[in-house]
Amino acid sequence: MKTLPAFLTAVLVFLMTAASVSAADTPYRHVVLFKFKDGTTPEQVKSVEDAFRALPGKIDTIVDFEFGTNVSPEGKDGGFTHCFFLTFKDKAGLEVYLPHPAHKEFGATLRPYLDKVLVVDYVAGK
């Protein structure tokens, strides 16, 4: 039986490894945009920010977290002022997060002040 040259063997191993990496092994991003109700005070907004910031300490599948407020000069925000960006190791991490009691509790904190929410989940790619 003939053997493949080392280069071709390496290419085949690479391709087989790449094919075995599925979306389950790829970071999941969870992007959340908030538009607060008119009349929501800065203190109430801060309480929502603080509650969201506390989630990574309560849900260990969150591997990265950041947030900020809109600073775009384009005027295309549709009233959304806050962006929260969470990263999970994989889809399973997101699936733990969504029904987690701490996430549900956060939703109860947010609900009285929320006008609209926009959520986009995606598999990270290059």
Residue-range domain boundaries for the chain:
25-123
Report how far residue 53's alpha carbon sits from residue 65's, in angstroms, rounded to the nearest whole number.
8
Per-residue tens of pLDDT for the chain, all 126 residues: 444 344 434 433 333 333 334 555 689 999 999 999 999 999 999 999 999 999 999 999 999 999 999 999 999 999 999 999 999 999 999 999 999 999 999 999 999 999 999 999 999 887
**Could you tell me the fold of the domain covering 25-123?**
Alpha-Beta Plaits (3.30.70)
pTM: 0.77
Extract the tokens encoding 53. 């910031």
For residues 109 and 47, give the distance between their C-alpha atoms in angstroms, rounded to a whole number: 8
